[in-house]
Structure 1
Amino acid sequence: MTYALICLPFLAVALVVALVATRTLPPGERRRRWASTGIAAAVLLALTAVFDSVMIAAGLFGYADGTRLGPVVGLAPIEDFAYPIATVLLVPAVWTLARRRGAKAAHDED
């Protein structure tokens, strides 16, 4: 099994939850959400490239050759970037859904 196959379910769930959460936002806020998600993703991917490369170079961990797709950024295989992408999609989505649920519960109590 490759690392990419392990990562795919996490990415799929994160994307679905992000799309569901974004649909609950008004159009203007939706555009801002995707723009800020893109900026956060760029920063997080850059940090992942740097720090994963440093940790791999230091010998803290490594990857078996048969389990990777092949392409790398620095020393980090592209599969390493799946979890930061899932995180940048999932965290704001869960926050949005929880905030909506909390607001609805508070409204129902009134």
Structure 2
Amino acid sequence: MGRLGESAVVAYCESKGWRILARNWRVLQGELDIIVQDADCVAAVEVKTRRGMAYGSPFEAITPLKMQRLRKLLGIWASIHSFSVTRLRVDAASVLVNHDDTLKIDYLQGVFND
């Protein structure tokens, strides 16, 4: 189900004209779901996919500590790839899979900015 949500968010980002730089990028310190370029900004997109709200909003799974880790990972990614941009940011995407298998995407841009 996670791949379904990530693919839907990739399509959402591409529809905004953003360039997908990486998916499921991993290093020892952790993983970034999606990395996009939005003009002069590179963003790490954390995607949370759920089938309903029984365990709360998908956004609730993204703690402040998780946000800090994502920001650190994005900095590592940018330095490894010698990617020079004006800004780095962390975005969050919530994907709810409805009973009829349609998807509802909520996207928060810049939940952690540099």
Q: TM-score range by the shorter chain?
A: 0.3 to 0.5
Greater relative contact order structure (CA < 8 Å, 6+ sep):
1
Determine which structure has the larger strand proportion and give its number: 2
Per the normalisation by structure 2, the TM-score is: 0.33
TM-score computed with the length of structure 1 as normaliser: 0.34
